[in-house]
Structure 1
Amino acid sequence: MSNVRPRMTNLFEQLGLDSSDEAIAHFIATHQLSAHTKITEADCWTEAQRQFLAEKIKSDGSWAIIVDQLNESLHEDSVIQ
Protein backbone atom coordinates (compact mmCIF):
# COMPACT_ATOMS: atom_id res chain seq x y z
CA MET A 1 0.00 0.00 0.00
CA SER A 2 2.94 2.35 0.42
CA ASN A 3 3.17 2.63 -3.39
CA VAL A 4 -0.24 4.30 -3.61
CA ARG A 5 -0.08 8.06 -3.58
CA PRO A 6 -2.91 9.21 -1.34
CA ARG A 7 -5.66 11.01 -3.23
CA MET A 8 -9.37 11.34 -2.62
CA THR A 9 -10.08 8.63 -5.19
CA ASN A 10 -7.63 6.30 -3.44
CA LEU A 11 -9.27 7.04 -0.10
CA PHE A 12 -12.70 6.14 -1.45
CA GLU A 13 -11.28 2.95 -2.94
CA GLN A 14 -9.75 2.03 0.43
CA LEU A 15 -13.12 2.65 2.06
CA GLY A 16 -14.75 0.33 -0.47
CA LEU A 17 -16.78 3.14 -2.03
CA ASP A 18 -17.27 4.22 -5.64
CA SER A 19 -14.26 6.41 -6.43
CA SER A 20 -15.50 8.15 -9.58
CA ASP A 21 -15.51 11.94 -9.42
CA GLU A 22 -19.30 11.98 -9.68
CA ALA A 23 -19.74 9.43 -6.88
CA ILE A 24 -17.35 11.29 -4.58
CA ALA A 25 -19.19 14.57 -5.20
CA HIS A 26 -22.54 12.85 -4.58
CA PHE A 27 -21.29 11.21 -1.37
CA ILE A 28 -20.02 14.53 -0.03
CA ALA A 29 -23.22 16.35 -0.96
CA THR A 30 -25.47 13.73 0.63
CA HIS A 31 -23.46 13.04 3.80
CA GLN A 32 -22.93 16.50 5.26
CA LEU A 33 -22.14 16.46 8.98
CA SER A 34 -23.07 18.86 11.74
CA ALA A 35 -20.31 21.03 13.13
CA HIS A 36 -20.12 18.85 16.25
CA THR A 37 -19.88 15.48 14.48
CA LYS A 38 -16.39 14.11 14.04
CA ILE A 39 -15.74 12.33 10.77
CA THR A 40 -15.11 9.09 12.63
CA GLU A 41 -18.48 9.39 14.39
CA ALA A 42 -20.57 9.77 11.24
CA ASP A 43 -23.39 7.25 10.86
CA CYS A 44 -22.50 6.50 7.24
CA TRP A 45 -19.39 4.43 8.05
CA THR A 46 -19.08 0.77 8.84
CA GLU A 47 -16.93 -0.10 11.84
CA ALA A 48 -14.06 -1.09 9.51
CA GLN A 49 -14.29 2.23 7.63
CA ARG A 50 -14.40 4.12 10.94
CA GLN A 51 -11.28 2.32 12.16
CA PHE A 52 -9.48 2.97 8.87
CA LEU A 53 -10.22 6.70 9.06
CA ALA A 54 -9.20 6.91 12.70
CA GLU A 55 -5.95 5.06 11.97
CA LYS A 56 -5.09 7.38 9.08
CA ILE A 57 -5.83 10.50 11.13
CA LYS A 58 -3.69 9.21 13.97
CA SER A 59 -0.79 8.39 11.63
CA ASP A 60 -0.44 12.09 10.79
CA GLY A 61 1.06 11.05 7.44
CA SER A 62 0.07 11.80 3.86
CA TRP A 63 -3.19 9.83 4.26
CA ALA A 64 -4.13 12.09 7.19
CA ILE A 65 -4.12 15.06 4.82
CA ILE A 66 -6.60 13.38 2.49
CA VAL A 67 -8.86 12.31 5.36
CA ASP A 68 -8.74 15.89 6.64
CA GLN A 69 -9.77 17.14 3.19
CA LEU A 70 -12.73 14.75 3.25
CA ASN A 71 -13.56 15.90 6.77
CA GLU A 72 -13.59 19.53 5.66
CA SER A 73 -15.77 18.67 2.66
CA LEU A 74 -18.24 16.78 4.83
CA HIS A 75 -18.52 19.80 7.14
CA GLU A 76 -18.95 22.40 4.38
CA ASP A 77 -22.62 23.04 5.09
CA SER A 78 -22.08 23.47 8.83
CA VAL A 79 -19.39 26.09 8.19
CA ILE A 80 -21.61 28.05 5.80
CA GLN A 81 -24.46 28.30 8.31
Structure 2
Amino acid sequence: MESQTHTITHLFAQLGLPSETGAIDTFIDTHAPLPHDLRLIDAPFWTPVQAEFLKSQLEQDSDWSAVIDTLDARLRHRL
Protein backbone atom coordinates (compact mmCIF):
# COMPACT_ATOMS: atom_id res chain seq x y z
CA MET A 1 0.00 0.00 0.00
CA GLU A 2 1.31 3.42 -0.93
CA SER A 3 1.16 6.14 1.69
CA GLN A 4 -0.72 9.36 1.06
CA THR A 5 1.13 12.67 1.17
CA HIS A 6 -0.89 15.36 2.88
CA THR A 7 -0.27 19.09 2.83
CA ILE A 8 -1.05 21.71 5.43
CA THR A 9 -3.91 22.80 3.17
CA HIS A 10 -5.34 19.27 3.33
CA LEU A 11 -4.90 19.23 7.12
CA PHE A 12 -6.80 22.49 7.61
CA ALA A 13 -9.59 21.25 5.34
CA GLN A 14 -9.71 17.97 7.30
CA LEU A 15 -9.98 19.97 10.53
CA GLY A 16 -12.86 21.98 9.08
CA LEU A 17 -10.83 25.18 9.04
CA PRO A 18 -10.38 27.64 6.16
CA SER A 19 -7.62 26.10 4.06
CA GLU A 20 -6.50 28.94 1.82
CA THR A 21 -2.86 29.95 2.29
CA GLY A 22 -3.77 33.35 3.72
CA ALA A 23 -6.22 31.83 6.19
CA ILE A 24 -3.62 29.29 7.34
CA ASP A 25 -1.04 32.05 7.82
CA THR A 26 -3.57 34.10 9.79
CA PHE A 27 -4.41 31.10 12.00
CA ILE A 28 -0.73 30.53 12.74
CA ASP A 29 -0.06 34.24 13.34
CA THR A 30 -3.03 34.38 15.71
CA HIS A 31 -2.04 31.33 17.79
CA ALA A 32 1.77 31.43 17.69
CA PRO A 33 3.94 31.10 19.55
CA LEU A 34 2.59 28.00 21.26
CA PRO A 35 4.33 27.44 24.61
CA HIS A 36 6.93 24.69 24.43
CA ASP A 37 5.44 22.92 27.45
CA LEU A 38 1.97 22.68 25.83
CA ARG A 39 1.30 19.74 23.54
CA LEU A 40 -0.25 20.71 20.22
CA ILE A 41 -3.29 18.54 20.91
CA ASP A 42 -3.88 20.35 24.22
CA ALA A 43 -3.91 23.83 22.72
CA PRO A 44 -7.07 25.67 23.78
CA PHE A 45 -8.06 26.71 20.25
CA TRP A 46 -8.98 23.20 19.06
CA THR A 47 -12.48 21.84 19.31
CA PRO A 48 -12.68 18.44 21.03
CA VAL A 49 -13.17 16.77 17.64
CA GLN A 50 -10.16 18.52 16.12
CA ALA A 51 -7.96 17.65 19.11
CA GLU A 52 -9.06 14.01 18.97
CA PHE A 53 -8.27 13.81 15.26
CA LEU A 54 -4.78 15.24 15.80
CA LYS A 55 -4.17 12.97 18.79
CA SER A 56 -5.32 9.80 17.04
CA GLN A 57 -3.30 10.52 13.90
CA LEU A 58 -0.13 11.16 15.90
CA GLU A 59 -0.66 8.04 18.04
CA GLN A 60 -1.12 5.92 14.91
CA ASP A 61 1.87 7.56 13.22
CA SER A 62 -0.45 7.93 10.25
CA ASP A 63 0.12 9.65 6.94
CA TRP A 64 -1.05 12.85 8.64
CA SER A 65 1.74 12.81 11.24
CA ALA A 66 4.36 14.64 9.17
CA VAL A 67 2.09 17.56 8.30
CA ILE A 68 0.79 17.73 11.91
CA ASP A 69 4.43 17.96 13.03
CA THR A 70 4.96 20.76 10.49
CA LEU A 71 1.99 22.66 11.89
CA ASP A 72 3.30 22.10 15.41
CA ALA A 73 6.69 23.54 14.44
CA ARG A 74 5.14 26.55 12.70
CA LEU A 75 3.00 27.30 15.75
CA ARG A 76 6.04 27.24 18.03
CA HIS A 77 8.18 29.58 15.94
CA ARG A 78 7.09 33.06 15.03
CA LEU A 79 8.88 34.48 11.99
TM over 0.5: yes
5 Å matches for 1:1-81? 5-32=5-32, 33-77=34-78
Structure 1 runs of 4+ with >2 Å offset? none
5+ residue gaps in structure 1? none
Higher helix share: 1
State the one-letter code of the partner of 1:17: L
| TM-score of the aligned structures, taking structure 2 as reference length | 0.88
Counterpart residue type for residue 42 of structure 1: A
What stretches of structure 2 of length at least 5 have no aligned partner?
Answer: none
Give me the CA root mean square deviation: 2.0
CA distance in 2, matches of 1:71, 1:55: 15
Query: 1 CA distance for matches of 2:62 and 2:42?
Result: 21
Count, aligned residues: 77
Identity score, percent = 35
- Distance, in Å, in 2 between the alignment partners of 1:70 and 1:76 is 10
The higher relative CO (CA closer than 8 Å, separation ≥ 6) is in 2
